[in-house]
Amino acid sequence: MSSSLRTSLLAAVAAVGLIGTGAALHSGTTSAYATPAMPTDGSIADVAERVVDSVVNISVSGESRGGPASFDPFFSDPSSPFFGQQQRGRRAEAKGSGVIVTADGRILTNSHVVNGFTDIKVTLQDGTELDAKVVGKDPKADLAVLQLKGKFPPLKPIAFGDSSAARLGEVVLAVGDGMGVGKSVSMGIVSAKGRGSVGIEEYEDFIQTDAAINPGNSGGALVNLKGELIGINTAIASRSGGYQGIGFAIPTNMARPIMDMLVRDGKVARGYLGANIATVSSSLLKLHKLKVGATSGVAVARLDSNGPGAKAGLRQGDVIVAMNGVPMRSSDVLRNTIAMTKPGTTVDLEVVHSDGAKDAVKAKLGELPEQVAQDAQDDSQDPQDSQDEAEPFQNMPRGMQGPNIQQWQMDPSTGQWQRVQPTPHKRHR
In DSSP terms, 120 is beta-bridged to 60
| φ, ψ for residue 351, nearest 5 deg | -125, 145
| Pairing outcome for strands 55-64 and 8-11 | unpaired
Q: Is the peptide bond before 383 cis (omega within 30 degrees of 0)?
A: no
Beta-carbon contacts of residue 17 (< 8 Å; ≥ 6 apart): none
Give the HSE-up count for residue 381: Cα atoms under 13 Å, Cβ half-sphere: 4
Q: Is 296 in the active site?
A: no
Q: Which of 26, 54, 97, 142 is catalytic?
A: 142
CA nearest to 296, candidates 326, 320, 318 = 320
Q: Is 142 in the active site?
A: yes
Beta-carbon contacts of residue 414 (< 8 Å; ≥ 6 apart): none
The full 3-state SS of 176-208, as one line of letters, equals ECHHHCCCEEEEEEEEEEEECCCCCCCCCCEEE
| Pairing outcome for strands 228-238 and 159-160 | parallel
Q: Is 31 in the active site?
A: no
Beta-carbon contacts of residue 9 (< 8 Å; ≥ 6 apart): 21, 198, 199, 200, 235, 236, 237, 238, 422, 423, 424, 425, 426
Give the three-class secondary structure for 337: helix
Angstrom distance (rounded) from CA 371 to CA 409: 23
Q: What is the DSSP letter of 155?
A: P
| Pairing outcome for strands 13-15 and 18-20 | antiparallel
| φ, ψ for residue 67, nearest 5 deg | 115, 170
Angstrom distance (rounded) from CA 20 to CA 139: 13
Angstrom distance (rounded) from CA 258 to CA 311: 28
Give CA separation, 254 vs 41, 148, 251, 350, 373, in Å.
30, 23, 6, 24, 20
Q: Which of 54, 97, 218, 380 is catalytic?
A: 218
Rounded (to 5) percent helix, strand, coil in the chain: 20, 35, 45
Q: Which of 112, 288, 425, 428 is catalytic?
A: 112
Catalytic residues: 112, 142, 218
